[in-house]
């Protein structure tokens, strides 16, 4: 039986869409998390942010910090390397704030993401598809070195405003929603901002919380947005020593969980979400087996739509 609708409240008007970032829903995974005595598994629906992903939080935090301290100068262009979601976040936020935006992306990112950022008016510079996100980082650094006066290089991989956005936002929202009863927090590693910042915030608000990172098991994997740390440029903001555990996630297990989320929970999300939930379920089982009670929380970074490209014969054009 459905637990019934959540209470609804009238939304106050806002001066800018940027004010709608955060306060995303937390949903219990009742079927996937079933059969675990004393354990409840929750997922934070970050795809409910205005730009459709968890990356809205750090992108806004980095740009606002740059505006506040004068690093975003009049006429400057916000620039960063991105595999997709942060790029979308930069693009819509820059559009809302009246700023220029240039994004360095591997040329093999999904066609949907390319179309979305261009629709917001962002310029794309492509890097080699063979070099992944690391190649985009190197290309972005080259552009900045050649014209430092032109760009505000927000550097999501090295900017402490990235994890700080989650420490001050995501962690606080989770702790408030669950009354501080968080036994474990699990998140995938992309830049490292989500798992590091949320873990720091929760350690202060939910003493004893177990903080776990999830990475792809293989260097060549099918989990877009996640980094295999041993074969990648390790982001300066990622500090593994602060975490309690790191899980290596096979692509197949993550994809299977993504399908379960759609069929069993009504959540059509990307494969990085599948990896995070599969990792959270492993941790939840370990806690249940040890007789620990409490809530296990993970993050759903985005919806599946950004990974779905219709086949040519499926397209329909109407006038």
Token pair of 277 as six digits: 């939930």
Report the C-alpha gap between 123 and 107 in whole angstroms: 13
Residue 7 in any domain: the answer is no
Residue 10 is predicted with a pLDDT of 56
Largest CA distance in the chain: 61
User: Domain boundary residue among 131, 153, 175?
Assistant: 153
Cβ-proximal residues to 166 (8 Å cutoff; 6+ apart), any chain: 57, 58, 193, 194, 196, 197, 198, 201
Which long-range contacts does 25-29 make (Cβ < 8 Å, 24+ apart)?
26/173, 26/174, 26/177, 26/178, 26/297, 27/265, 27/267, 29/261, 29/265, 29/277
Secondary structure letter of residue 232 according to DSSP:
S
Tally of domains in the chain? 2
pLDDT of residue 308: 64
Q: Which domain holds residue 121?
A: 56-153
Phi-psi domain of 170 (left: phi exceeds 0; alpha: psi -120 through 50; beta: other): alpha
**Helices 251-265 and 271-289, axial angle in degrees (round to 10):** 90
User: How many CB atoms within 10 Å of residue 68?
Assistant: 9
Cross-strand pairs, 185? 211, 297
Compute how many other C-beta atoms are within 10 angstroms of the C-beta atom of residue 319: 2
Under the banding of pLDDT at 50, 70 and 90, the label for residue 5 is: very low
Q: Do residues 23 and 87 both lie within one domain?
A: no
Across the chain, mean pLDDT equals 92
CATH of the domain at 65: 3.40.50.1100
pLDDT tens, 154-198?
999 999 999 999 999 999 999 999 998 999 999 999 999 999 999
Would residue 113 count as lying in a domain?
yes
Residues annotated as catalytic are 55, 272
Distance in angstroms (rounded) separating the CA atoms of residues 47 and 167 = 18
| In-domain check, residue 313 | no
Residues 70 and 199 in one domain: no
Same domain flag for 40 and 60: no
Q: What angle do CA 259, 262, 263 make, to 5 degrees?
A: 85
pTM: 0.91
**CA-based nearest residue to 126, from 101, 153, 108, 148:** 108
pLDDT beyond 90 at 242? yes
Residues 140 and 167 in one domain: no
Question: Is 82 a domain residue?
Answer: yes
User: Of the ranges 6-15, 31-40, 279-288, which one carries the lowest mean pLDDT score?
Assistant: 6-15
Averaged pLDDT for residues 264-275: 97
Q: Where a domain ends, among 153, 186, 207?
A: 153
Q: Which of 236, 218, 91 is nearest to 227 (CA)?
A: 218
Scan for tokens 């992309």, then name that residue. 190
On the question of pLDDT at 7 being above 60, the answer is: no
Query: What is the number of H-type helices and E-type strands within the chain?
Result: 9, 10
Q: Are 188 and 139 in a shared domain?
A: no
Q: 312 in a domain, yes or no?
A: no
């Amino acid at each position: 039986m459905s637990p019934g609708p959540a209470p609804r409240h009238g939304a106050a008007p806002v001066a800018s869409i940027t004010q709608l970032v955060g306060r995303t829903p937390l949903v219990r995974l009742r079927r996937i998390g079933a059969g675990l005595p004393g354990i409840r598994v929750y997922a934070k629906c970050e795809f409910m942010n205005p730009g459709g992903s968890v990356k809205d939080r750090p992108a806004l935090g980095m740009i606002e910090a740059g505006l506040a301290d004068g690093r975003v100068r009049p006429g400057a262009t916000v620039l960063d390397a991105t595999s997709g979601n942060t790029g979308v976040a930069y693009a819509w936020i820059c559009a809302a704030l009246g700023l220029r935006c240039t994004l360095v992306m591997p040329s093999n990112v999904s066609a949907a993401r390319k179309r979305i950022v261009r629709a917001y008016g962002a310029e794309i510079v492509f890097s080699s598809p063979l070099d992944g996100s690391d190649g985009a980082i190197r290309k972005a650094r080259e552009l900045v070195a050649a014209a430092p006066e032109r760009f505000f290089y927000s550097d999501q991989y090295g900017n402490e405003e990235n994890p700080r956005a989650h420490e001050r936002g995501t962690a606080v929202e989770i702790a408030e929603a669950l009354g501080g009863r968080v036994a474990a927090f699990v998140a995938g590693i992309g830049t490292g901002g989500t798992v590091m910042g949320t873990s720091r915030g929760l350690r202060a608000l939910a003493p004893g919380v177990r903080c776990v990172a999830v990475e792809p098991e293989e260097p060549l994997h099918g989990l877009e947005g996640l980094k295999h740390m041993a074969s990648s440029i390790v982001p300066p903001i990622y500090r593994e020593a602060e975490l309690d555990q790191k899980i290596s996630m096979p692509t197949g297990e993550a994809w299977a969980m993504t399908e379960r989320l759609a069929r069993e929970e009504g959540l059509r999300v990307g494969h990085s979400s599948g990896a995070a939930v599969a990792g959270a379920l492993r941790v939840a089982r370990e806690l249940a087996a040890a007789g620990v009670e409490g809530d296990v929380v993970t993050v759903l970074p985005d919806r599946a739509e950004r990974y779905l490209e219709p086949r040519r014969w499926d397209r329909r054009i109407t006038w």
